[in-house]
Structure 1
């Protein structure tokens, strides 16, 4: 079996093998880009709509024409970010074929690459507590999709005997929890590249599920 944490494409790999690993510059509107900068520097609670409008160079009413509130800016960024992760997780899962070991390594790698390469967007998940009940539910529905991808792989690997897991659901939450903690400590100027972190976390995930 090929190294499940390797990033080099084999002769048999199809095009998507590199697609989900490649994170291009994320396209944001000027308003959302300014909001992301402000949230990163000042925190959600410390950011005002007036501050975002000032950074963009528009009036507050003009900003409200596109997003009806500060919370609207936050949920728009969260949905863009999380939907991107979900799409990459699906592609990484598909790329693993019928091998649960490869599938899990791929998906964890895809998630971690996003957490490190787009750390500022990933860090916004810590601001979910400020969302209204309705918007929190919208966000959770997309997050649930990512959890379901990983859970299905853990269940398949357990059923096939490739994994040694007593509680697939709890194990899935543990795997995703360790990935979600990355923005708290990762810095692009640090000693580890996104690819190195992704490989390490994929290896940790495989040990966690007792991959044979």
Structure 2
């Protein structure tokens, strides 16, 4: 690996506890347990050890908490994905493996944040929904462009590259709905299996 690749690779596979401000961590826990509409501002404030006015000092509404949480989630995912792809080099097959692995690991290790992003998009105000969808579209374009490059190189043979790209992304995202660290599959084995499924979806011609 070159020095440039080592710099690009730094951290995208590394996950500790989410580094969220206390109000967002409290909102995440409440939304995951009760849903956005089932959660009150008073509940979030109590979880964050703040008064309601104290919470409003940081975030002026429950909607701003949801938006702040989703913005941090997508910023993290996109940054990790870009580092993963950059570190993989120029070969489409390697770049595809990197972006799929990154999506899988993110949706395992940040599953609550990812789950809220998938289920509470309906709760977003119009003023932010378009920006959030633009983030998701950017992530999908990253996958699609790698598949297109693989098609051009003759590495991928699917007749439906756009559909395959959506299917691969959806598969990775869905991991957040069922993965448990205590389950029968550890993270590395899940990545190995699902990467094979993703390669099959795009018609990978290699070994």
**Is 1:60 the equivalent of 2:52?**
yes
Q: Unpaired segments of 5 or more residues in structure 1?
A: 1-8
Note the alpha carbon deviations across 1:104-155, whole angstroms, 9 max, x for none.
1111101110100111111112111111122111111111111111111000
TM-score, normalising length from structure 1? 0.89
> Do the aligned residues in 2 keep the contact of 1:39 with 1:47 (CA within 8 Å)?
yes
Q: Unpaired segments of 5 or more residues in structure 2?
A: none
**Is 1:31 the equivalent of 2:35?**
no
**Is 1:197 the equivalent of 2:190?**
yes
Could you say which residue in structure 1 is the equivalent of 2:128? 135
Q: Give me the CA root mean square deviation.
A: 1.9
Bigger mean CA deviation after superposition, 170-179 or 194-203 = 194-203
Give distance in 2, aligned partners of 1:71 and 1:113: 28
1:80: how far off? 0.6
Once the two structures are superposed, the pairs formed by residues 56-205 of structure 1 within 5 Å of their partners are 56-125=48-117, 126-205=119-198
TM-score, normalising length from structure 2? 0.91
Give distance in 2, aligned partners of 1:85 and 1:96: 17
Give distance in 2, aligned partners of 1:176 and 1:145: 12
Give distance in 2, aligned partners of 1:56 and 1:23: 23
> Do the aligned residues in 2 keep the contact of 1:93 with 1:106 (CA within 8 Å)?
yes
**Paired positions, count:** 204
Q: Check 1:104–1:113 CA distance in 2 against 1; reply closer, same or farther (3 A cut).
A: same
Note the alpha carbon deviations across 1:83-124, whole angstroms, 9 max, x for none.
111111111111221211111111110111010011111111
SS in 2 for 1:45: coil
Give distance in 2, aligned partners of 1:188 and 1:44: 25
